[in-house]
Structure 1
Amino acid sequence: MKLLYWLDEWLTYSREEQQRRLPISGDDLLDDVFVRYNFVDLNKPLLFTFSPAGTNVQEQDLHPDFAPWGYRLANKQNVNIIAFQHLGVSNWFRSRNLIFFLEQLATLLAPFNSRLGYGLSRGGFAVGAFANLLKLDQVLLFHPVSTKNKALAPWDDRSSTDIAQKFDWQGDYHDLDLGKAKGYIIYDPTNRIDRKHARRYQQLTHLRVFGMGHGTHATYLNKFGFYKQVAVDFMLHQQLDLFQFRQQTKTLRFKEDYYKRLNKANRSSSHRLGLLSKAHQILLDEKEAHVQEHQAQIDIQPLIDIALKHQEENPQDAIQLLEVAQQLAPDDPLVEHTLKQLNK
């Protein structure tokens, strides 16, 4: 637990000396959790990340340059980071050694005035469970899981819940405990279990992304840069631009590949496929309306002018230009008349 010893000594210095001794980086292995840290500036936020399911690293996979989930992204934003990477497939950050480490760590963080937490699914559970202990100010959670305690969440009947029962869900930090933390929780309201978990995070701002599903982060949404952009805004500003977020999700939902990949990810569930199909059709209608709305704002006159100017020497090019103009403004009488003349 090198970090604890270093922090304990570091706290004895003045704030100016503390800043002078940065940057400092290192790593620790805490039973079945690998932690890597990098402190760069006392005036920057301290970010905690916990890895999601799907990042199933084994101890033999660790090497000197190994970066836990979220670590490199935080470094690029030049914020302080302590990143926790679970080892193995079924790991819910319930190790007694990890909990002891976090309890000791929480007493050594006074110099950091801004503390953030970021996690997806299983990692989001850990952020919520340890938020009060670590005195987090802001959190960003995707695909919520508030607990795997069946008494608290009897409706969570996913297979992961049964597998997780080998851990202690009665002891400390087994349920969300946000303390005074504010922030955001982002989820698909059509996902029954996610929706019920999200309701338990009443003090957070709820951002709903229809058709987003659960657990698609590793391959699908990352392709569109969705998580990265939201996380970067959160790290840099400790808040999200909600107008930009809604524009981003709207653009995302207009991508056909988004639904193709979500359908593939959920092919084993006819219920989810039905919801996705319904969402897809609604958004196709929305996309058509969106296109029509913008068509009304497009000035096609430059296309018409160029087509008319070159209709004698290059009639086929003129026709192609006018056909584009007709797609943008299908009811324009001048375009229709000119096309008829050129096609004779």
Structure 2
Amino acid sequence: MDKQIIFEDEQIRVIFLKGNSEELIFSFGDLITRAKGLSINAEKSLMKYDYNVIGIMPKEKSWFPVESMQNMMEAVAPYLAQFKTVVGYGGSMGGYAVLKYSKLLNMSRAIAFVPQFTIDPQEVEDRRYAEFFDVSLHRDMKIQEQDVSKDTDYIIVYDPYYENDREHYLKIKQILPAVMTLNLPFTGHEALSVLASSSLLNDFIRHDLDQPYFYEQMRQVKKKSKFYYRNVIGNLMSRHSKALGRILKNNDLQLDAQYLDPTLKQLITRVMLSRRQVTEQDLQKLGIKVNLPQESRQQLQDSFGSFLVFNVISNKVESYSQDAIDLNHKYLLPLMAKSSCLVKVELNSERYLIAMNDRRVMKLFKEDDALTSDMNPLVLKKYLDYYVISYKNLNLNTDDHGLCSFVEAPVSDNEKLILV
């Protein structure tokens, strides 16, 4: 592997990777893929097609300051002189640099994923990167007409429904009205993760500008992308819950148990359990494994008319309608309630205590087993006209969505439960 550092200062490290292509690729790093040894952004994909590459890797979260880029040009010029076709590629901070320096680097094509227009808080509403703005480095950093060229083909990939990135795109579009836009809906800022593919990158670099062709290749990559489904599920569930059913039905997913984070897992299972019957095949596709309980009929009802259960999929106390419990009785365990006592459920003909720690992690313990030192049992308290579930000095509160939290006294209507 023939690689060498050809320029370096406090902000960037510039590395040349020798290949055997007619094109020279400028690959820009981002906040995650910053300078580390001789590593280059998208190196494996570019090496697969034997490209000549100049990797411009940021040392700091500084959005490739103009001064560093201009100082780099003396070292880069001899390489530029050898190639008629120059292509820029990068995402987010790297996508910004691809557009900002497309004319400076004489790019034939500039491929930018979810780029920023600027991070200057005076220029954009987006505050994700405002803490990295340094006026001494970033004066007039926005992409301007003098930065771009009518001789360059511009491609931008982004999610039009993601407000923060849409703001940047619309400002960039004013500078580049002829840009080819490839929409990647409901993926947020994760376009590069979703479309990670050597063949697709090669198409972006070498194929004629053909929007239908690019969309077809993107669809093929999306079908195989775990990142795509995770982002789509997370973005769609609260608004378009039927989409999950279609995803599970039409795709042979086999996600591992760590694929969904706990918050997303809880959201997905709430939608599934509330709207339709859940099958073991659904859970297997999503990488969710559960110990199936036996049905129990103890019923504590909250102020919204729903019933308190322990959800063995999310490991949380939640409330559901009776219809949802009837459809999914294997997974939703009604809380046992007769008088003041520790909160219990019945699972596989055995009784379990529900305990929780200060981080709100819940766990089941067999009735006769010892608790771990960080766990405290939930307590059911019977009053004259209602019940309350408590953890230390906090009371369980339910909302109209069935989600439960623990709040301080005094007891409100949302904390009062009745035995049905």
Cα 1:197–1:75 change in 2 (3 A) is same
CA RMSD of superposed structures (Å): 3.5
Q: What is aligned with 1:149?
A: 120
Q: 1:114 aligns with which of 69, 85, 89?
A: 85
Instruction: Give the structure, 1 or 2, with the largest relative contact order (CA under 8 Å, sep 6 or more).
Output: 1
SS in structure 2 at match of 1:134: coil
How much does 1:49 deviate? Answer: 0.8
Q: What is aligned with 2:182?
A: 207
What aligned pairs does 1:194-343 form with structure 2 within 5 A after superposition?
Answer: 194-199=165-170, 200-201=172-173, 202-215=177-190, 217=192, 220-221=193-194, 226-235=196-205, 237-239=206-208, 242-251=211-220, 257-258=226-227, 261-262=230-231, 273=234, 275=236, 277-278=238-239, 281-282=242-243
Cα 1:226–1:68 change in 2 (3 A) is closer
How much does 1:26 deviate? Answer: 1.8
Q: Does 1:132 align with 2:103?
A: yes
Q: Structure 2: where are the runs of 5+ without partners? A: 253-420
Give 4+ residue runs of structure 1 displaced > 6 Å after superposition. Answer: 286-291
How much does 1:276 deviate? Answer: 5.7
Compare 183-192 and 280-289 and name the one that shifted more. 280-289
Q: What is aligned with 1:9?
A: none
**Structure number with higher helix proportion:** 1
Contact kept in structure 1, 2:187 and 2:228, CA below 8 Å: no
How much does 1:74 deviate? Answer: 1.9
Q: What is aligned with 2:137?
A: 168
Aligned residues: 244
How much does 1:36 deviate? Answer: 1.1
2:53 is aligned with what amino acid? I
Q: Deviations over 1:250-278 (max 9, x none)?
A: 456567944663279xxxxxxxx555643
How much does 1:115 deviate? Answer: 0.8
Q: What is aligned with 1:32?
A: 11
Q: What is aligned with 1:67?
A: 39
Instruction: Quote the sequence identity (%).
Output: 22
Contact kept in structure 1, 2:46 and 2:198, CA below 8 Å: no
Q: Structure 1: where are the runs of 5+ without partners? A: 1-22, 265-272, 292-344
Partners of 1:287 and 1:246 lie apart in 2 by 23
The structure with the larger Rg is: 2
SS in structure 1 at match of 2:80: coil
How much does 1:175 deviate? Answer: 2.1
How much does 1:45 deviate? Answer: 0.8
Partners of 1:274 and 1:72 lie apart in 2 by 30
Partners of 1:178 and 1:279 lie apart in 2 by 39
What aligned pairs does 1:91-110 form with structure 2 within 5 A after superposition?
Answer: 91-94=62-65, 96-102=67-73, 105-106=76-77, 109-110=80-81
Contact kept in structure 2, 1:47 and 1:117, CA below 8 Å: yes
TM-score by length of 2: 0.50
Q: What is aligned with 1:297?
A: none
**Structure number with higher strand proportion:** 2
How much does 1:93 deviate? Answer: 1.2
TM-score by length of 1: 0.60
Partners of 1:94 and 1:108 lie apart in 2 by 21
Contact kept in structure 2, 1:106 and 1:133, CA below 8 Å: no
Cα 1:254–1:72 change in 2 (3 A) is closer
